[in-house]
Amino acid sequence: MSAILFPEAMCLVEPVSGQVSWGANQLWYGDLWQRKAGCGPSTAASLIFYQKQKQRLLQRKPLLSSRQCLLDQMMEMWNYIQPGPGGVNRVSQFTEGLEKYRAAQNLNFEISAMAIAEDPSQRCGWPQVSQFVETALKQDEPVAFLNLCAGEEKRIDEWHWVMISTLNPEAGIITFLDESKIKEADLALWLRSTTKRGGFVTLHWPPKHSDL
């Protein structure tokens, strides 16, 4: 099993209601179009937010606990990852937005991506996909996952981005954050049965940095 080291960094608690949120939720956006098409910038915000939380832990600061802190990051990422008529339906849209954000914020993270072809004969196999995800998680880097068609794995919403936090490479099972909930799915089954393209993106940060 490979997993991010600090899952608690993505646990947010509303001070008044006590409601617990695990990661971002595009429904937090105020605008209707943002709520409908905002899974891409929301997931990108989660990748950045996790890194910010890790920095706070390393600096012995308390974790940010209000969902407003993550919503602020979501609003910022919306400026760089702008959904088109079909949302953010390509890995390249996601990575190009992150590149713009990196340049604007003068950050030095590296962007790694793996695109999954629509044609099964052109598609990466499970060993390559599991290695990509596992390598990132072992470096404590969550993985953004684009699913346009769930195939036989119906536990993942279609035409959607989510953040993967754990992987069991032998069983092919992932844990991911979506709608501020912790969910589970069979990623190997998805890879075998999806009929559309998809992909994965992760951000690699230098071992020591304090630029967030």
pLDDT < 70 regions, the chain: 208-212
What pLDDT sits at residue 211? Answer: 64
**All structural domains of the chain:** 2-204 (3.90.70)
What pLDDT sits at residue 208? Answer: 66
What pLDDT sits at residue 74? Answer: 97
91 vs 37: CA distance, rounded Å = 15
What pLDDT sits at residue 210? Answer: 61
Beta bridge partners of 161: 146
What pLDDT sits at residue 18? Answer: 80
53 vs 5: CA distance, rounded Å = 12
What pLDDT sits at residue 15? Answer: 79
20 vs 66: CA distance, rounded Å = 10
pTM exceeds cut of 0.75 = yes
Write the pLDDT tens digit of every residue in 66-79.
899 999 999 999 99
What pLDDT sits at residue 16? Answer: 79
- Stated as kind and residue range, the H or E segment containing 70 is helix 67-78
What pLDDT sits at residue 62? Answer: 92
